[in-house]
Amino acid sequence: MIAPILNQGEVRTHGDRVANDCAGSSKSWAQAYLYAVERMGGQGVALGSDVNGLAGLPGPRFGTHAATALVGDDRRTGERRDQIGAQKDGVRYDAPLADYRANRWDGDAEDGYSPEEALAFEAVALARSGEDLARADSSEHSSEDAEWIRHAATGLRAERPEDLPALSDDPPEGDADATRVQRGAFHARAGTDPADIPDAQTREVCRHVGPIWRTFEDMHGPTRLVAEALRAGATSTSMSTEWLTTGCCPTSSRICEMWG
């Protein structure tokens, strides 16, 4: 029996069953697993975690921590963002995102998401979490960034533009005001083309938040729920193998997905 370690880092591609397009994630582990299955004749292959050691666990496919095995790889500069953008079909959960806070979005910015995009991630996560926006934990941010996150989350939660304050005729200089952040975020969720938004500041917020909202939609993909699979009679072992080999493992916020 052999047991490929879960944290494979960056590995060679084996076959075409699972795309090897997210370095250090469950997709990397799948290459080693499928190679081992082939060499072992389809039997005697287990999952090796070494959780009580120093081996680590796979990184996520989505968010600011995605494809971290490429961080510091000078020979593949620029590939990380492409790999992050290639990810689809996340795991669906039957509960809202529990932890929206900044620690979920503090991944290395090298060839990944910028600090400004990390704020947008937190705003979307906050909006989807169900947390009372007035009591949201923003202790890791400046007051300016904390207010931007709250206003963006307000706009993302709005059902209609009429639910938001009307734009003033004289916008403030510099950063977008609260109303424009809210309206820009609303348009981002609605899928409005930024080019169709007359107000410049609102348009820029929409352009900034829209791709992050769509990334969350990709994360919340079609892979079936854990509870749904259990009701259907799946075993924990079969589910682990299914999710790992498809790049969708729900066992940890840092294993394959960033949902938890």
Which residue in 180, 135, 125 sits closest to 157, CA to CA? 125
Q: State the pLDDT at residue 177.
A: 87
Task: Please list, in sequence order, all residues whose beta carbon lies within 8 angstroms of the beta carbon of residue 35, skipping any fewer than 6 positions away.
Answer: 14
Look at the chain and report how many structural domains it folds into: 2
In the predicted model, what is the mean pLDDT of the chain? 83
**One domain for residues 144 and 195:** yes
Q: What distance in Å separates the CA atoms of residue 81 and residue 88, rounded to the nearest whole number?
A: 14
pLDDT of residue 123 exceeding 90? yes
Cβ pair 117, 62 in contact under 8 A: no
**One domain for residues 78 and 175:** no
Q: State the pLDDT at residue 230.
A: 55
**One domain for residues 45 and 107:** no
Q: State the pLDDT at residue 229.
A: 58
pLDDT of residue 245 exceeding 90? no
Q: pLDDT of 9-41, one tens digit each?
A: 889 999 999 999 999 999 999 999 999 999 999
Q: pLDDT of 137-148, one tens digit each?
A: 988 999 999 999
- The share of the chain scoring above pLDDT 70, in percent, equals 82
**One domain for residues 80 and 139:** no
**One domain for residues 213 and 241:** no
Q: pLDDT of 195-237, one tens digit each?
A: 999 999 999 999 999 999 998 888 776 665 555 655 666 554 4
The mean pLDDT of 93-102, rounded to a whole number, is 81
**One domain for residues 89 and 100:** no
**One domain for residues 113 and 33:** no
Q: What distance in Å separates the CA atoms of residue 17 and residue 38, rounded to the nearest whole number?
A: 12
> Which H or E element spans position 8?
none
The CA-atom distances, in angstroms, between 18 and each of 14, 56, 124 are 8, 22, 29
The mean pLDDT of 86-96, rounded to a whole number, is 79
Written as one string, the DSSP assignment of 188-250 is HHHT--GGG--SHHHHHHHHHHHHHHHHHHHHS-SBPPHHHHHHTT--HHHHHHHHHHTT---
Q: State the pLDDT at residue 148.
A: 95
Q: State the pLDDT at residue 176.
A: 58
Q: State the pLDDT at residue 171.
A: 61
**One domain for residues 114 and 212:** yes
Q: How far apart are the first and last CA of the chain?
A: 31
Which residue in 177, 178, 172 sits closest to 151, CA to CA? 178
Please tell me the least confidently modeled range out of 56-65, 93-102, 140-149, 153-162. Answer: 93-102
**One domain for residues 189 and 258:** no
Which residue in 15, 33, 13 sits closest to 23, CA to CA? 13
Two structure tokens written together for 184: 């820009």
As beta bridge partners, residue 255 has: 252
pLDDT of residue 55 exceeding 80? no
Between residues 220 and 248, which one has the greater pLDDT?
A: 220
Cβ pair 197, 203 in contact under 8 A: yes
Task: Please list, in sequence order, all residues whose beta carbon lies within 8 angstroms of the beta carbon of residue 143, skipping any fewer than 6 positions away.
Answer: none
**One domain for residues 84 and 132:** no
Range of the domain at 85: 1-93+228-260
**One domain for residues 196 and 212:** yes
Q: What distance in Å separates the CA atoms of residue 28 and residue 20, rounded to the nearest whole number?
A: 6
Q: State the pLDDT at residue 27.
A: 94
**One domain for residues 16 and 110:** no
